[in-house]
């Protein structure tokens, strides 16, 4: 069963979610492209392309940032088999299949790995004809046993064919635990990225103003916060574990969200 409809295909996804900022977006199949003799579907809103093998029940995501193809779905797995999910530094981790079942004539393969956003948890599951409950861009996003992306709904030819558990079957969700959600018009740079001991936050065209900086880990927990009162601020991150983090920089009316890696 193909992931793609005859005329149109969309997924509603949360690309990255954390406690006070969970917003979904709709990604759409817009055409085809060929890489290394493989034909992929171009999907607007994702930094990469998707291809499938309906006979094997497999799907791959070609990550255009790293120029690497990752297997993201394998319906041929059986109970107790392993599936590799890569962490941010591209280290493979074996995740075990803990359930294989059928529902509405579709095969489901569930892993002992999770999509987690705050207190919301859902085991990553491959769904025949729809993809994964973690969407397609979850490889290289593993932190322990968790990733932070999720598929909410899948529509083929205008018909909804899959929903979700994590967000109570909603196809759209946006929870921002702050009053403002307009993006800052100023340019903000984080460097070095990846980083180890120190992270620099540079605000271009800085004027007399005060910004609030908050850093969250992949599970949505706040790990650091402070005021930014200068164009260049250096913070000590030596106490942070290796992994992916998100910064939220806010003034009174808007914000900017950026990702960085601690190696």
d(CA 248, CA 175): 15
pLDDT digit string, tens, across residues 173-195:
776 543 444 556 678 889 998 89
Antiparallel, parallel or unpaired: β 48-53 and 58-63: antiparallel
Domain of 240: which CATH number?
2.60.40.10
218 shares a domain with 134: no
Residue with more model confidence, 36 or 24: 36
Are 140 and 43 in the same domain? yes
55 lies in some domain: yes
Domain annotation covers residue 194: yes
In a domain, 2, yes or no: no
Nearest alpha-carbon partner for 86 in 101, 71, 73: 71
Query: Which phi-psi region, left, alpha or beta, contains residue 105 (left: φ > 0; alpha: ψ -120 to 50)?
Result: left
Query: Are the C-beta atoms of residues 99 and 75 closer than 8 Å to each other?
Result: no
pLDDT per residue as tens digits for the range 49-78: 999 999 999 999 999 988 999 999 999 999
Give percent above pLDDT 70 in the chain.
Answer: 90
Are the C-beta atoms of 243 and 261 separated by less than 8 Å? yes
pTM tops 0.85, yes or no: no
Torsion of CA 14, 17, 20, 26, to 10 degrees: -10
78-82, 157-161, 222-226: lowest mean pLDDT where?
222-226
Residue 116: band (very low, low, confident or very high) from pLDDT cuts 50, 70, 90: confident
Least confident of 50-64, 76-90, 236-250: 236-250
pLDDT tens digit sequence for 7-21 = 999 999 988 766 556
Residue 91 has pLDDT above 60, yes or no: yes
Using only the alpha carbons of the chain, give its radius of gyration.
Answer: 19
For residue 24, the Cα-to-chain-centroid distance in whole angstroms is 11
Domain that holds residue 145: 9-175
Same domain for 196 and 166: no
Distance (Å, whole) CA 147 – CA 116? 6
Grade residue 252 by pLDDT with cuts at 50, 70 and 90: low
What's the domain count of the chain? 2
Segment 203-217 shows an average pLDDT of 78
> Domain for residue 203, yes or no?
yes
Last residue of a domain, one of 175, 195, 215: 175
Do residues 66 and 45 both lie within one domain?
yes
Among the listed residues 4, 12, 7, 21, the one whose alpha carbon sits nearest the alpha carbon of residue 258: 21
Tens-place pLDDT, residues 127-149: 999 999 999 999 998 888 889 88
């Amino acid at each position: 069963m193909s992931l793609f409809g005859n005329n149109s295909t969309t997924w509603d996804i949360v690309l990255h979610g954390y406690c006070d900022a969970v917003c979904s977006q709709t990604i759409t199949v817009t055409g085809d492209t060929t890489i290394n003799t493989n034909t992929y579907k171009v999907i607007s809103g994702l930094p990469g392309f998707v291809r499938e093998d309906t006979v094997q029940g497999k799907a791959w995501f070609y990550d255009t940032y790293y120029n690497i193809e990752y297997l993201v779905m394998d319906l041929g797995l059986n109970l107790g088999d392993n599936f590799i999910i890569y962490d941010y530094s591209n280290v493979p981790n074996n995740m075990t299949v803990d359930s294989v079942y059928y529902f509405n004539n579709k095969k489901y393969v569930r892993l002992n790995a999770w999509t987690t956003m705050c207190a919301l948890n859902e085991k990553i599951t491959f769904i025949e004809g729809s993809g994964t409950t973690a969407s397609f861009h979850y490889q290289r996003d593993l932190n322990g046993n968790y990733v932070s992306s999720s598929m909410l709904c899948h529509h083929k030819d205008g018909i909804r064919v899959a929903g979700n558990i994590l967000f109570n079957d909603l196809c759209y969700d946006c929870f921002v635990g702050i009053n403002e959600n307009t993006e800052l018009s100023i340019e903000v740079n984080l460097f070095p990225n990846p980083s180890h001991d120190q992270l620099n936050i540079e605000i271009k065209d800085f004027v007399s103003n005060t910004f609030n900086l908050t850093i969250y880990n992949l599970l949505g927990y706040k790990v650091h916060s402070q005021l930014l009162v200068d164009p260049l601020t250096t913070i000590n991150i030596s106490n942070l574990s290796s992994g992916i983090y998100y910064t939220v920089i806010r003034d009174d009316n808007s914000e900017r969200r950026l990702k960085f890696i601690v190696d």
